[in-house]
């Protein structure tokens, strides 16, 4: 019975250790800045202008941004609120 428990604990440990390495890869700063190739194909390496670990592509050459390519704005960034007109005050109808 104790050998089954030991085997189960070893299996849990191995699964935990292998899961941690996969999670750490996606928390790496290079994925946030798109300066290394995407693990899941969700972005093009260098599309934000950071090319430190990128192969040569449309955005990068020899680990540096290409001069002829403009980098797009980060789609996750909210639009600038100063460009939006202010909202009119709400009108309350009292006693109608």
Alpha helices in the chain (DSSP H): 2-26, 29-32
Structure tokens at 80: 């600038």
Q: Please state the domain count of the chain.
A: 1
16 assigned to some structural domain: no
Q: Is residue 18 part of a domain?
A: no
- Which residues constitute the domain of residue 66? 26-73
Task: Give the pLDDT score at 59.
Answer: 94
0.75 cut: is pTM over it?
no
Distance CA 96, CA 91 (A): 13
User: Any idea which residue has 């693990």 for tokens?
Assistant: 39
Q: What is the pLDDT of residue 33?
A: 92
Spatial separation of the C-alpha atoms in residues 8 and 29, rounded to whole Å: 35
User: Is residue 38 assigned to a domain?
Assistant: yes
Query: Which residue did the predictor score with more confidence, 46 or 68?
Result: 46
Q: What is the mean pLDDT of the chain?
A: 77
Q: How far apart are CA 91 and CA 15, in angstroms?
A: 59
């Amino acid at each position: 019975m104790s050998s089954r428990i030991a085997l189960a604990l070893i299996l849990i440990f191995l699964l935990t250790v292998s899961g941690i390495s996969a999670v750490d890869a996606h928390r790496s700063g290079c994925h946030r800045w798109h300066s290394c190739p995407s693990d899941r194909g969700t972005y093009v390496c260098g599309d934000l202008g950071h090319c430190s670990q990128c192969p040569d592509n449309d955005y990068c050459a020899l680990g540096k941004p290409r001069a002829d390519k403009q980098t797009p704005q980060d789609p996750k960034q909210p639009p600038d609120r100063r460009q939006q007109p202010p909202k009119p005050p709400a009108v309350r109808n009292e006693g109608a």
